[in-house]
Chain A
Amino acid sequence: MTNYYQGIDIGSSYTKITVIDENDCVTYQNIIKTLNRDKQELANIISKIKSDFNIVSICATGYGREHFKDSHINKTEIYCASVGVSALYPELKTIIDIGGEDIKVIKSGGDSKVDDFYMNTKCAAGTGTFIIEIAERAELELSLLSELAAKSEFDKELNSFCTVFAKTEIMKWIFDEVPEHDLARGIYISIVNRIAKIRMDKALPIFLIGGVIQYHPFLKTIVEEKFKQRVVVPENPQMINSFGAALLAKKHALTEMKINAI
């Protein structure tokens, strides 16, 4: 029977699941809202995975990792990001993970080692939640934000460290009748400028991962403009941490549980 390994990334907004086979190939992926009050949905997904695959090891990651009772190991999402991206791009790099409630800047070795990492301070400014809050105040459709921003050459940002104050700031733009596409680009510039305030090695290529880049692909352009570096967005950037977790589940099975690869 083929062995499979599962990674589950329980983030502040979404829970991502990846199953890999012995050859590290992704055989299953799924994503659901983390704060779904219907707990049965996740239980059904896990149960289906168990019946469909011979899962020998599970690694949980993300802020909710400690709450997932079926895992064999728990690892931080920072380490899982480094492992996941390094499996696809084994080089020295900077990983920028923009999630629902934080930004993580990770200096990652080609061997998956986390050489250094920094996180934003506690405020949500510059994260997924920031985009949702500001776009709502500006009455912009979230799904159209990237498309709108691509039409703009606006170069202003929201300065506030506080998401609530930034919402007040964008009201000034609206009163000044700044066009929608400029508002959209301004929101993205604010996020990238927030990232630029976090320490990172400017000589390294940048890999953008997380839910925000998945749904706001135009951010890549702003990151390229700001950092003047090679910027890569891996396929399914929101799923990378769960992929890294699955790889760590496999490593755990082979080294600690002494399960032989077929």
Chain B
Amino acid sequence: MEQEIKKPYKIQSAKIMKEIMGNYFLGMKDTTKKIAWCTSVGPAELLRSFGFEVHFPENHGALLGATRTATDLIPEATKLGYSSEICSYLTADVGSYLKKQTPLTEHYGLEGPPKPDLIVYNTNQCREVQDWFEYFAKEKGCPVFGIEPPRYVDEVSNEAIENVAAQFKSLIPICEKASGQKFDIDKFRETIRLSKEATDLWKKVLWTARVSPSPISFFDATIHMGPIVVLRGTQMAKDYYTTLLKELEDNVVKGIGFLEVEKCRIYWDGMPIWGKLRPMSELFAANNAAVVASTYCNSWVFDAFDPKDPFESSALAYTEIFINRSENAKEKILKKLIKDFNIGGMIFHEAKTCFSNSNSRFGMPLRLKNELGIETLVIEGDLCDLRFYSEGQTTTKIETFIEQLS
């Protein structure tokens, strides 16, 4: 079938982002700097206040997925006894370590992820991070600290905030020892302030997609979220989102969107299928279907950060994240987003190896369909392991779904 060739929509700020992300990874080469590893929704601000450069193993996992190297690396971890049905970020990252293969070498000249002086995880998103980070702490012979907040909360209670804030505080002496620096509350307030400003800008970036035609798609956002994940608490992240927001707002004023005409507006729930971002993006675009909002990209919107109460506010911010909420609370959040973004259909990606971030498993799609009158679709796949993904079947499902919405 002949298809009309359209001028591709490009977000120009992507060039700046590429440079920032490159500098971030190249910065890890500096052996004089202390390195902390941290979960992506962990207390990065506290670590940065001690001068640590922060490496995020989930970011490395996503890179292994996006470069489609994960599927070759996962079996290495499986041979070590890690099931191929647990988090494929974990198995890909462990496999990468065992096989001594990483795209960081080709892209940034790094032998691998930087050697850690401290490893910190937060089980606010799943239990796998505990096993994952403990494994590397043993391998690297470095201290490890786990934050274990109350899980699957409906609303975050004051007791929960006190509990998590106390855990953050008990991390201080460990950070002081590993970094050789004394804790400075003003530095912590400053990183929280920078994080707050960056996350507010990131939220505004995502919220530009409320307009039709939207200037940013879910697939674009999965790329542009890099700095808010790995550079929270830095001026660079804040500056980047200031630039990106301006470009997108200008496009809104000019009426330029990533699609000229949006036949329907779709919400993506769950993890991206990292190795299939481009074909997925092209599939929706070819059908004039705009995927404009997602649970995933919203996960780095932290409304609660407040420099005046850095411990309590970050404890709240990191405990009230979507993935750590009850089914009831998740449903309320989704309903609001569906309304705010004028969504007609919702796709749930049921990731085989990510139980925590697959929200189709407790009846949510049918409840939202019945209560809001939107169409819902469940597709099966995975964040990294493409053995769990069937392109033909998924394409048929998505195209039929778009036909239903149009």
Give bound CA distance, A78 to B398, whole Å: 11
**Which residues of chain B from 363 to 404 have any CB-CB distance to chain A below 8 Å in the complex?**
380, 388, 390, 392-393, 396-397, 399-400, 403-404
Interface contact A77-B396, CB-CB below 8 Å: yes
Contact for B393 among A60, A72, A117, A122, CB less than 8 A = A122
Q: Are A63 and B396 in contact (CB under 8 A)?
A: yes
Q: A114 to B390: give the CA distance in the assembly, Å.
A: 22
By a CB distance below 8 angstroms, the chain B residues around A77 are: 396
Q: How far is the CA of A223 from the CA of B403 in the complex (A)?
A: 29
A129 close to chain B: CB less than 8 A: no
Closest chain-A Cβ to B400's Cβ sits at a distance in Å of 4
- Closest CB of chain A to B302's CB: distance in Å? 36
A interface residue count range (under 10 / 10 to 19 / 20 to 34 / 35 or more): 20 to 34
Task: Verify if B253 is at the interface (C-beta below 8 Å from A).
Answer: no
* From B390, B396, B397, B404, residue with most partner A Cβ within 10 Å: B396
B400 in contact with A71 (CB, 8 Å):
no
B1 at the interface (CB under 8 A from A): yes
Given known contacts A60-B1, A71-B1, A122-B380, is B403 in contact with A114 (CB within 8 Å)?
yes
* CA distance in complex: A46, B403 (Å): 28
A5 at the interface (CB under 8 A from B): no
Q: What residues of A have a CB within 8 angstroms of the CB of B390 in the complex?
A: 122
- What is the number of residues of chain B that contact chain A, defined by CB distance less than 8 Å? 12
Given contacts A76-B400, A79-B400, A114-B403, contact A63 B1 (CB under 8 A): no
Of the listed residues A60, A75, A78, A115, the one surrounded by the most CB atoms of chain B closer than 10 A to its CB is A78
**Which residues in chain B, 88-138, are within 8 Å of chain A measured between CB atoms?**
none
B396 and A78: CB pair below 8 A?
A: yes
Q: Which of A74, A115, A119 sits near B1, CB closer than 8 Å?
A: A74
Task: Give, as a whole number of angstroms, the nearest-CB distance from B368 to chain A.
Answer: 14
CB contacts (< 8 Å) of B403 on chain A: these are 75-76, 78-79, 114
A73 contacts partner chain B, Cβ-Cβ < 8 Å: yes
Bound: A224/B114 CA distance, A: 63
Q: Which residues on A sit within 8 Å (CB–CB) of B404?
A: 113-115, 117
Mark out the residues of chain A between 35 and 80 whose CB falls within 8 Å of any chain B CB in the assembled complex.
Answer: 60, 63, 66, 68-69, 71-79
Which interface residue of A69, A73, A122 has the most chain B CB atoms within 10 A?
Answer: A122
Interface readout for B317-361 with A: 1 if CB under 8 Å, 0 if not? Answer: 000000000000000000000000000000000000000000000
Interface string of A61-101 (1 = CB under 8 A from B): 00100101101111111110000000000000000000000
State how many angstroms separate the Cβ of B348 from the closest Cβ of chain A: 13
| A102 at the B interface (CB under 8 A) | yes
Q: A76-B396, A119-B396 are in contact. List 13 more A-B contacts (CB 8 A).
A: A63-B396, A72-B1, A73-B1, A75-B403, A76-B399, A78-B400, A78-B403, A113-B404, A114-B404, A115-B404, A119-B397, A122-B388, A122-B393
- Seen from chain A, the residues whose Cβ lies within 8 Å of a Cβ on chain B are 60, 63, 66, 68-69, 71-79, 102, 113-115, 117, 119, 121-122
Between A and B, 29 residue pairs with Cβ closer than 8 Å are A63-B396, A68-B1, A69-B1, A71-B1, A72-B1, A73-B1, A74-B1, A75-B399, A75-B403, A76-B396, A76-B399, A77-B396, A79-B400, A79-B403, A102-B393, A113-B404, A114-B400, A114-B404, A115-B404, A117-B397, A117-B400, A117-B404, A119-B393, A119-B396, A119-B397, A121-B380, A122-B380, A122-B388, A122-B390
